[in-house]
Amino acid sequence: MTSINIGVIGYGYWGPNLVRNFAEIPEAQVKTISDFKPELLAKAQARYPTVQVTTNCRDIFTDPKIDAVAIATPVSTHFDLALAALQAGKHVMVEKPMTVSSEQAMRLIEEAERRNLVLMVDHTFVYTGAVRKIRDLVATNVIGDIYYYDSVRVNLGLFQHDVNVIWDLAVHDLSIMNYVLPFQPCAVSATGMSHIPGQPENIAYLTLFFEGNLIAHIHVNWLAPVKVRRTLIGGSQRMIVYNDLEPSEKVKIYDKGITINGNHSAEKVYQMLIGYRAGDMWSPHLNMTEALRTEGLHFIDCVKKGDRPITDGEAGLRVVRILEAATESIRKQGRLIELDKIRVAA
Amino acid sequence: MTSINIGVIGYGYWGPNLVRNFAEIPEAQVKTISDFKPELLAKAQARYPTVQVTTNCRDIFTDPKIDAVAIATPVSTHFDLALAALQAGKHVMVEKPMTVSSEQAMRLIEEAERRNLVLMVDHTFVYTGAVRKIRDLVATNVIGDIYYYDSVRVNLGLFQHDVNVIWDLAVHDLSIMNYVLPFQPCAVSATGMSHIPGQPENIAYLTLFFEGNLIAHIHVNWLAPVKVRRTLIGGSQRMIVYNDLEPSEKVKIYDKGITINGNHSAEKVYQMLIGYRAGDMWSPHLNMTEALRTEGLHFIDCVKKGDRPITDGEAGLRVVRILEAATESIRKQGRLIELDKIRVAA
Amino acid sequence: MTSINIGVIGYGYWGPNLVRNFAEIPEAQVKTISDFKPELLAKAQARYPTVQVTTNCRDIFTDPKIDAVAIATPVSTHFDLALAALQAGKHVMVEKPMTVSSEQAMRLIEEAERRNLVLMVDHTFVYTGAVRKIRDLVATNVIGDIYYYDSVRVNLGLFQHDVNVIWDLAVHDLSIMNYVLPFQPCAVSATGMSHIPGQPENIAYLTLFFEGNLIAHIHVNWLAPVKVRRTLIGGSQRMIVYNDLEPSEKVKIYDKGITINGNHSAEKVYQMLIGYRAGDMWSPHLNMTEALRTEGLHFIDCVKKGDRPITDGEAGLRVVRILEAATESIRKQGRLIELDKIRVAA
Amino acid sequence: MTSINIGVIGYGYWGPNLVRNFAEIPEAQVKTISDFKPELLAKAQARYPTVQVTTNCRDIFTDPKIDAVAIATPVSTHFDLALAALQAGKHVMVEKPMTVSSEQAMRLIEEAERRNLVLMVDHTFVYTGAVRKIRDLVATNVIGDIYYYDSVRVNLGLFQHDVNVIWDLAVHDLSIMNYVLPFQPCAVSATGMSHIPGQPENIAYLTLFFEGNLIAHIHVNWLAPVKVRRTLIGGSQRMIVYNDLEPSEKVKIYDKGITINGNHSAEKVYQMLIGYRAGDMWSPHLNMTEALRTEGLHFIDCVKKGDRPITDGEAGLRVVRILEAATESIRKQGRLIELDKIRVAA
């Protein structure tokens, strides 16, 4: 298997980015693109004259020359398409969120494992220089014990009709958090609101609880006057501000925090003195390679070597599980929903 | 009663600001300052040689020449001091939060009403040019129907030992919201965490529910690497960004939003088309008078005319009621707590 | 002449943008692309399979089916290529700066006029929504009398070998200024420095004098740690801040200024009182169409109707004349160089 | 001489800051304040009941108990007052600019040297944590060879009637530059404009030339819509952005620059390849002590020990000499004015 043939299903918003990146990877080529809108296929054909196009995605599944399938369709179709692809013996890269339910996600993981196929979820941000740097900083204890992870992802548009704002926007934060933090949340409390009758929530707030005193919070909003993409990570040693809208200094590390001195004896705990430290701020140079290129190379590499991708099916499942629980909590106006330890079918 | 004599109790962090502002108001003078720390009184004396100082606040209550008392002490002492002042026949201006419980707040309201005395809570932000402009924009329907009120108030320090971060920081947002919005919240769901053993929560998130589809959220944090003071208000006509850290353009109004067109028939509600509008942004010139001066003048005016202040006891009570409920919700990890319609004893 | 056939010379940095935009304009099509690097032509061919490519630009001049030529080559070649194109009867759109000397620019204007051909200079910024809004604000007297025009355009890279930083960066500011201001400068004083031995100046400062008390200044720098693109325009009524790096609020209008009251009698002029006014700030919604699309449509329209483009040869000449004078002034360390009233050969 | 008695002349804009800081320095006390406006003296008296006040500054010169005089009056009076103080045997701290001419400055230096008295100029910024950090970075070769120093200091107001904007604003940049850079400028070219008839220039641009390829530029403006206080310092190793309006991260060091590789043979110099490096950014924690306190302590220390202050008369003279030359250059529309090697009378 020298070069990987890829079929791409869906050429709407994200599909063209997948095609463009796979087209530029030496060890891969896009063989077929499918979409049910002929006008999108015409665009694809004009841009990539040697690629085959079809309105029937079955043509991709039945083509024995195709090794892998990338799925960039609405989330409600992910499960059927990914399952069919796996059953046809194709490796799969599927858009986030992986599926509309954790049951579906587990079924896909099981199918891929049984057939020894690569199943990767396109958690794009995990492949950015910024997020990888943050993971390094956490993993090498530069931050110390993690106290909180707080993220805001708001802007005006694009309202979705079939999923609420957390499935559209919080999915990014959850996939980043899943990669960056060495812990899994154990419960979620979420609130939200829809401002268009009959439509899903367009604003939502999630609190995630972990073992110990780590807490995470995500604010997502489709109806904000300004665009904000900012994450604060507080630790015992240092704190991070990750602002994805900054052109170059996306990650800043603050050597700031509190110091606790004082009498820890049981009866006098209230007398402890809290001090404040402020040191230098530092913004590391980041790898600016397009995330989707890094990700595409990783996918091809996993396919060739039979490796498990960083953003494998289980990473996708963990995120879907939280999205499910948060949606349930929103319906119950903040009621705490426990997140069971996830077990994949053996 | 030509000029109002004022006694100020507490000369720690906020008291000096009260004294400085009352000292510059023509129709008022500070007659006495009390604090239990002699070194603070020495400072006060050096700066204001003609003012009397005392370590015993009773000297203020028993002085028949004193018309009004301003209380700037820790919140746990507000009730006793304010009650004693009212019972001594003095008008009262008390720091926020008004009291540690809504029962105490109601008791003070009752006492002031029975004695026909002014009872004012120092919700300072209500007297800023920025907040007054926002109230005008809401009241004159420039914003349209209010969809959400979202506020972030985070920085590093000053950890309190006796109250959690919502009593210290969210109190500002709640007092602003109480003034700006024409509605009262009916329930609260809140989460939070303490990162210092035995100490109150230093990070917290509050969601407030209202009748209809208005939602509010407040994020407060004593342990953030950067200082943020930003409120987003979304409406059907326009949206506001209020950034209190901007030196001059604190309030920006965005002529942005969504438009909804489409078939509202029951079965086809999902077909409605959401459009996006983007127009001009506008930042009104604001009155930059120091809030405490405006507030001091208002207090003196109310005392002289027997008027009810804008931030009266009931405003203070409404805020305390939410703080109580939110604290309870935090303990229950986000459990929804209903806010009863508040009734002041007749 | 229903649809305009275009030949594009130069497919390096800017040429692909020209091709892409012309390709999307219904009444135009790119017939031929020339470049002396075969690898760039291969790229062009892959992307636009129906376009002809050639390493010999003469093939464009001699093709009778080509109506217009767009030239995106190094500035030193502009004159020869544009002249040849005009002499072959083609309309011309040439990159900025138009030529390396005003003599060359005048020669091209003359040739185009004699042959009744369109000669347009690609002053791209003139076709942005931001710059057009600024021109409107100036033209409708919203700003009042213009006091100054101050621009900073600095970043790290891309050092040029054949021209100094003013020919590369200040050319943008001069073309914007030429479009926005209703006046022409009458003299220039400039300073600059090279920090690489044997290379042209990489940092420069230009002051432009006008009739009356209008003054303009441009700071350009290839060796700055941060990217800045900011223009301040001061007027008697209002002031503008144009920050091209802002994603949406690129233009802000400040209703701020000074008021002058006082005794203007000869001996007491020093007693005049200067007051300061501060009113609202306003950021108008801007047309966000890609400038090069607007410009391409304008060029095609001029070709079809025989109209004179907004950024015609004389606009190009005016900018070149200032660049020449500024370069001379830099050599003389700030010596004032007069700008003669430019007269195009009749 | 255990504690230094100080007389302060001038209690307008800056005088109160001097008095407040000297009042808080243990080894100094303000004995007398003079101002010709009685209402200002009344304010001073109310605030500092034990200080003597006088409308006649001679009372300060003739008081044998006064050791040192701080002068915070309009610049036109500096020379006479400082000379009288020195002749009365007092140490002197004088506001910037030191005098209205370099002759006057030299005369004061001479007088102070002859009498062995401390003569200090209040170049306040030199005593900030930010500027001291920058000097350290330059002195320890963190920046490498200095390529340029570029500063912008603009805002709306306060127009002066007796001096132009460079004597009011550029004086800050020149005093900082004089402290930070290890070199002296050898020539200046400046331009500027007045927008109020009969008044001094309210906008100005200075270019300073040094030996070698170091260049400096200062832009000052009293009529800008926004406040800017930003200095860029470019070096061969690193570059600095100093933004004095940032609340905490005032100084940022960018590990960025160019690399030069290539054939330096005479005929092929144009082939040298310029590369670009981008590394981390770093913002050091700064000492946030009020500059005037650090400066006051330094003055008292110099008086007690007979040391020469950092911002001595010669530092003041160097700045005045540039202001003189720049004013002459503005009159001549950018004409280069040489700065002679300054020699203080022996």
Considering only CB atoms, which chain A residues are within 8 Å of D282?
Answer: 280-283
Residue range D85-93: mean pLDDT, rounded: 98
The torsion of the CA quartet C14, C19, C24, C26, rounded to 10 degrees, works out to 130
The pLDDT score that the predictor gives to residue D50 is 87
The residues pairing with D233 across neighbouring beta strands, listed in sequence order, are D149, D240
Q: Is there a contact between A47 and C47 if contact means CB atoms under 8 Å apart?
A: yes
Spatial distance between the Cα atoms of B161 and B194, rounded to a whole number of angstroms: 11
Q: Are B164 and B201 in contact (CB under 8 A)?
A: yes
Q: CB-based contact (8 Å) between A340 and chain D? A: no
Measured CA distances, A7 to A71, B207, D18 (Å): 9, 45, 75
pLDDT exceeds cutoff 50 at A346: no
Residue of B nearest to D48 (CA): B47
Domain check: are D157 and D79 in the same one?
Answer: no
Residue B304 belongs to a domain: yes
pLDDT at residue C58 greater than cutoff 70: yes
pLDDT tens string A42-92: 999 988 888 999 999 999 999 999 999 999 999 999 999 999 999 999 999
- For B248, which residue in chain D has the nearest alpha carbon? D226
Q: How many CB atoms lie within 10 A of CB C83?
A: 17
Instruction: Tell me the chain C residues in contact with residue D209 when contact means C-beta distances shorter than 8 Å.
Output: 191, 333
Q: What percent of chain B has pLDDT over 70?
A: 95
On whether both D72 and D146 belong to a single domain, the answer is no
Q: What does the pLDDT read at residue D152?
A: 98
Average pLDDT of the segment spanning C238-253: 96
**What are the tens digits of pLDDT across the range D191-211?**
999 999 989 999 999 999 999
Locate the chain A residue with the closest alpha carbon to C227.
Answer: A247
Burial degree of C310 (CB within 10 A; 0-12, 13-18, 19+): middle
Report helix, strand or coil for B155: strand
Element (H, E) at B191: strand B187-193
Q: Which residues contact A167 (CB under 8 A, 6 or more apart)?
A: A75, A97, A160, A323, A327
Note whether residue D94 is domain-resident: yes
Q: What pLDDT was estimated at residue B274?
A: 87
SS (H, E, C) A110-156: HHHHHHCCCEEEECHHHHCHHHHHHHHHHHCCCCCCEEEEEEEEEEE
- Angle between helix A171-180 and A129-139 (nearest 10): 40
Distance of alpha carbon D77 from alpha carbon D80, whole angstroms: 6
Written as six digits, the tokens of A230 are: 């900012």
Task: Taking residues B249-267, report their average pLDDT.
Answer: 81
pLDDT digits (tens, 9 = 90+) for A131-188: 999 999 999 999 999 999 999 999 998 888 889 999 999 999 999 999 999 999 999 9
Residue with token string 């034990």: D50
pLDDT of residue A158: 84
Given a cut of 80, is residue D272 above it in pLDDT? no
Confidence of residue D346 (pLDDT cuts 50, 70, 90): very low
| Amino acid code (one letter) for D308 | R
D263 contact residues in C (CB cutoff 8 A) = none
Q: What phi and psi, each to the nearest 5 degrees, are found at residue D172?
A: -65, -50
For chain B, the average pLDDT equals 94
SS3 content of chain B, % helix, strand, coil (to 5): 35, 30, 35
* B36 part of contact set with chain A, CB < 8 Å: no
Query: Nearest CA of chain D to the CA of A54: how many Å?
Result: 45
A116 and A152 both lie in a single domain: no
Q: Is B157 on the interface with D (CB under 8 A)?
A: no
For residues C44 and C173, membership in a common domain is answered with: no
Nearest-Cα residue of chain D relative to residue A277:
D285
Helix, strand, coil in percent for chain A, rounding step 5: 35, 30, 35
CB-based contact C231:C150 (threshold 8 Å)? yes
Are B290 and B21 in contact by the 8 Å Cβ rule? The answer is: yes
Q: Which pair of tokens denotes residue A268?
A: 């006098």
Same domain, B157 and B265: yes
Tokens of C328: 């001379």
- Is A156 close to B226, i.e. CB distance below 8 A? no
- Residue B345 pLDDT greater than 80, yes or no: no
Confidence grade of residue A34 (pLDDT, cut at 50, 70, 90): very high
Q: Which residue has the tokens 């005593």?
A: D127
Quick check: D189 and C194 CB within 8 A? no
D15's tokens: 């005088």
The answer to whether residue D331 scores a pLDDT higher than 50 is: yes
Q: Are A8 and A70 in contact (CB under 8 A)?
A: yes
Predicted confidence (pLDDT) per residue in B43-63, tens digit: 999 888 889 999 999 999 999
Question: Average per-residue pLDDT in chain D?
Answer: 94
Which pLDDT score is estimated for D345? Answer: 43
Report d(CA A4, CA A298) in Å as an integer: 13
Domain harbouring B116, CATH code: 3.40.50.720
Same domain flag for A86 and A137: no
Q: How confident is the model over B322-333, as pLDDT tens digits?
A: 999 999 999 999
Name beta bridge partners: A121. Answer: A94
Within-domain flag for D319: no
Angle at C49 between CA C47 and CA C52, to 5 degrees: 110
Q: Name the pLDDT band for C260 (thresholds 50, 70, 90).
A: confident
**Encoded amino acid at C106, one letter:** M
Listed range (A91-100, D165-174, D262-271) with the worst mean pLDDT: D262-271
State pLDDT tens for residues C157-177: 888 888 999 999 999 999 999
C278 CB neighbours in chain D (<8 A) are: 156
In terms of domains, do C182 and C329 share one?
yes
In a domain, A343, yes or no: no
Is C21's Cβ below 8 Å from some Cβ in D? Answer: no
pLDDT band with cut points at 50, 70 and 90 for residue C316: very high
Tell whether A247 lies on the interface with C, counting CB pairs under 8 A: yes
Using the beta-carbon criterion (under 8 Å), do B193 and A148 form an inter-chain contact?
Answer: yes
Q: How confident is the model at residue C298 (pLDDT cuts 50, 70, 90)?
A: very high
Q: Is the pLDDT of residue B344 over 50?
A: no
Does pLDDT of C345 surpass 50?
no
Peptide bond into C38 cis (omega under 30): no
Nearest chain C Cα distance for residue B19, angstroms? 30
pLDDT, mean of residues B135-162: 95
Q: Is the dihedral of CA A100, A101, A107, A110 positive or negative?
A: positive
Point out the residue among C49, C227, C245 whose CB comes nearest to the CB of A49: C49
Dihedral angle sign, alpha carbons of residues B4, B10, B16, B17: negative
C192 touches chain D (CB under 8 A): yes
The CA distance from B224 to B203, in Å, is 9
Cα distances (Å, whole numbers) of residue A317 to A103, A190, A306, A311, B221: 9, 19, 20, 10, 31
**What pLDDT score was predicted for residue A257?**
93
The number of beta carbons lying within 10 Å of the beta carbon of residue B146 is 22
pLDDT band at A345 (very low <50, low <70, confident <90, very high): very low
C-alpha–C-alpha distance, residues A185 and A170, integer Å: 15
Average pLDDT of every residue of chain A: 94
**Residue C47 pLDDT:** 82
Tell me the two tokens of residue C115. Answer: 């042959």
The DSSP bridge partners found for residue D191 are: D205
User: Is the separation of the CB atoms in B166 and B206 below 8 Å?
Assistant: yes
Give the number of other Cβ atoms within 10 Å of residue C199's Cβ: 18
Residues in chain B within 8 Å Cβ distance of A148? 193, 195, 203, 221, 223
**For the segment B61-96, what is each residue's pLDDT rounded down to a tens digit?**
999 999 999 999 999 999 999 999 999 999 999 999
Token duo for residue A161: 């009709």
CB pair distance less than 8 Å for A274 and B334: no
Give the type of residue at C248: S
Number of domains in chain B: 2
CATH number of domain containing C218: 3.30.360.10
Same domain for A149 and A221?
yes
A274 contacts in chain B (CB < 8 Å): 159, 196
**E strands within chain C?**
4-9, 28-34, 52-54, 68-71, 91-95, 119-122, 146-156, 187-193, 203-209, 215-221, 223-235, 239-243, 251-261, 273-283, 337-338
Cβ neighbours of B247 in D, within 8 Å:
227
d(CA B118, CA C67): 84
| Residue A280 contacts residue A264 (beta carbons within 8 Å) | no
Q: Is B247 on the interface with D (CB under 8 A)?
A: yes
* Complex confidence, ipTM: 0.94
Judge if C183 and C108 occupy the same domain: no
pLDDT at B81: 98
Mean pLDDT of the A251-273 span:
74
Say yes or no: A108 and A239 in one domain.
no
- Least confident segment among B254-263, C216-225, D250-259: B254-263
- Please list, residue by residue across D42-77, b when 16 or more beta carbons sit within 10 angstroms of its beta carbon and e when fewer do: ebbeebbeebbbbeebeebbebeebbbbbbbbebeb
Q: Give tens-digit pLDDT for C120-169.
A: 999 999 999 999 999 999 999 999 999 999 999 999 988 888 899 999 99
Does A98 share its domain with A235? no
Whether C284 sits inside 8 A of B280 (CB atoms) is yes
Interface of D with A in 270-289 (CB under 8 A): 278-285
Burial code of A197-207, b = ≥16 C-beta within 10 A, e = fewer?
A: eebbbbbbbbb
Give which of D142, D163, D246, D274 to mutate to test C binding, by max C Cβ within 10 Å: D274
Percent of chain A with pLDDT over 70: 95
Q: Please check whether residue D163 is in contact with residue D206, taking contact to mean a CB–CB distance below 8 angstroms.
A: no
User: Which of C286, C184, C293 shows the shortest CA–CA distance to C244?
Assistant: C286
- Residue A159 tokens, joined: 């309202």
B268 pLDDT above the threshold of 60: no
C254 in contact with D at a CB cutoff of 8 Å?
A: yes
Residue D204 belongs to some domain of the structure: yes
Strand order in the sheet with C91-95: C52-54, C28-34, C4-9, C68-71, C91-95, C119-122
Q: Are the beta carbons of A180 and A210 closer than 8 angstroms?
A: no
**Among chain B residues, CA nearest to A256:** B225
Share of chain C above pLDDT 70, in %: 95
How far away is chain C from the Cα of B62, in angstroms, using its nearest Cα?
48
Residue B290 predicted with pLDDT over 90: yes
Other Cβ atoms closer than 10 A to B26 = 8
Closest CA to D34 of D8, D16, D2, D67: D8
Neighbours of A308 (CB within 10 A): 15
Surface of A (80-99) touching B: CB under 8 A: none
Q: Which of C248, C278, C282 sits opposite B282 (nearest CB)?
A: C282
Tell whether B224 is covered by a domain.
Answer: yes
Domain limits at B243? Answer: 127-287+324-338
In D, residues 204-233, which contact B (CB 8 Å cutoff)? 227
Does residue D344 lie in a domain region?
no
Mean pLDDT score, D285-307: 97
Question: Is the CB of residue B146 less than 8 Å from the CB of residue B235?
Answer: yes
Domain assignment present for D193: yes
Q: Are residues A172 and A90 in the same domain?
A: no
D253 to chain A: closest CA residue: A282
For position D266, what pLDDT does the model report?
A: 52
Q: At what angle do helices C102-115 and C78-87 cross, to 10 degrees?
A: 10
